[in-house]
Amino acid sequence: MHSMNNLRGVDLNLLVILDALLSERHVSRAALRLNMSQPAVSHALARLRFLLGDPLFTRHGGGLAPTVRALELSQPLREALVQVRAVLGPDGFDPAQSRHIFRLAMSDYGANLILPGLMRLMRQLAPGVDLSVTQFSREGMIARVVDGEVDLGLGVFPHLPAQIYPELLLSDRYVCLVDRASLPPQARQIDLEDYLARPHALVAVHGEASTEIDEAIHSAGLTRRVALVLPHWSVAPTTIIGTDLILTVAARSLDALRRDKSLAILPSPLEFPAIPFTQISHKRRQADPALRWLRSIVSTIAQPASPSITRRNPPTV
């Protein structure tokens, strides 16, 4: 078997092919991504298996399942390729010509704010770039960014470890959503007594608590009753209709509901902290031109003052 210490005998292009196979888990899709023929990728995989002394992948459900050894190599390989591209690619990342896949994690709130505009802009500027979007709790997003499973996380993160690079995108505020029929006629606000007397709904991934709201309530010496915890924002407004439930939620998540006559959006009777919506990535990835480009795109979309995101062309990084 080849010694990996003897780099003179190793075709480093094989590492690019291995990275594509780890991402796509399919020979044909990896070949398309690399602009290679399927037999050429299969031949490269055979060379990689000999070089590394491991099968690397097994056939599974029409695709490829990585071995333990392949999974162990995934993150170090990705980091090494980022550094190599930073050294050898002075022109940076060309979104118009590149084939790439980004892995993002975001909540319903983040997806509602960012994803529609992000896809429209990417289809215009980067037709060969794909997105894979998942949803986790805050802690889950942070852990996956640290581990390298996610390129970019978007959400509200009160506490971040030292390895994480945060970038504030916008600041939102909390408002209250209630059934309009549960209010007195012409009511434009809710008082503190009614706010605390009502049962509350809480949108939370995996049952996590909305600590900023409850900490503000508790610091004022008050309590609330959370009668409903649900993981999906999309069903929350219709769940409130016909009940006395109240949902304390970020104002920008309600933009599509402002014309719904069955619901009322009211200012909060308590002063809650601002909501810092942030994108996070790993500090070791800051030299990655592709990730820098993606962050610039997301930042462009998140600007509330931008009247038309499709008219702004973020720079090639």
Q: What is the CATH number of the domain that holds 283?
A: 3.40.190.10
> pLDDT category, 112, cuts 50, 70, 90?
confident
Total domains in the chain come to 3
For residue 264, what are the CA distances in angstroms to 51, 143, 177, 248?
64, 37, 6, 12
Q: What is the pLDDT of residue 243?
A: 96
Mean pLDDT (whole number) for 257-275:
90
Same domain, 260 and 145: no
Cα–Cα distance between 187 and 180 in angstroms, integer? 9
Confidence band (pLDDT; 50, 70, 90) for 3? very low
**Is the same domain home to 160 and 193?**
no
Strands 275-282 and 152-155: antiparallel
Separation CA 167–CA 278 (nearest Å): 5
Are 182 and 265 found together in one domain?
yes
Q: Is the pLDDT of residue 249 over 50?
A: yes
* Segment (H or E) for 177: strand 174-179
Q: Give residue 135's domain range.
A: 100-171+276-311
Does residue 296 contact residue 315 with C-beta atoms inside 8 Å? yes
pTM for the predicted model, two decimal places: 0.67
Q: CB burial class (10 A; 0-12, 13-18, 19+) of residue 85?
A: middle
Choose one of 26, 54, 88: the last residue of a domain. 88
**43: Cα within 13 Å, side-chain hemisphere:** 7
Q: Kindly state whether residue 17 falls inside one of the protein's structural domains.
A: yes
pLDDT for res 7: 54
pLDDT at 264 over 90: yes
Does 164 lie in the same domain as 149? yes
Using the Cα atoms of residue 213, residue 216, residue 220 and residue 221 in order, give the sign of their dihedral: positive
Please report which confidence band the pLDDT of residue 1 belongs to, taking 50, 70 and 90 as the band edges: very low
Taking 70 as the threshold, does the pLDDT of residue 239 lie above it? yes
